[in-house]
Amino acid sequence: MKIMLMIAAPLALAIPAAHAAEPAGDNGDRMFAMIDANGDGKIDKAELTKAAEAQAAKKGDTKPVDSAKIDEMITRIDTNGDGAVDKAEMAAMRKAQAAGGDAKQ
């Protein structure tokens, strides 16, 4: 569980201002849309990496994001195996986290 939270943190907290500004019932859609730069309904490795780098830069960290951690996070959340995280997979991850479980069921 600790590893999942460490890996999922860049995704779940990639844009904290957007996350904090989510209206009740939004279920992360606004944050998802901000990370999904090309608007295809999926967050791929490049989009997630960019979001994680932006989050790190806000904290003053200029080191490159660990590509292996991004890959592992996508692998754990990507239940359909297409190499990206869609809204349903994101919702399942958030639900599992809220329940104290693992993202992959």
CB atoms closer than 10 angstroms to residue 22: 13
- The DSSP element (H or E) to which 97 belongs, if any, is helix 87-98
Task: Indicate whether 19 belongs to any domain.
Answer: yes
CATH code of the domain in which 7 resides: 1.10.238.10
Task: Indicate whether 7 belongs to any domain.
Answer: yes
Task: Indicate whether 103 belongs to any domain.
Answer: no
Task: Indicate whether 22 belongs to any domain.
Answer: yes
pLDDT digits (tens, 9 = 90+) for 87-104: 999 999 999 988 886 554
pLDDT digits (tens, 9 = 90+) for 21-79: 444 556 688 989 999 999 999 999 999 999 999 999 999 998 889 999 999 999 999 99
Task: Indicate whether 42 belongs to any domain.
Answer: yes
Task: Indicate whether 56 belongs to any domain.
Answer: yes
Reported pTM: 0.70
Domain that holds residue 86: 2-98
Domain count, the chain: 1
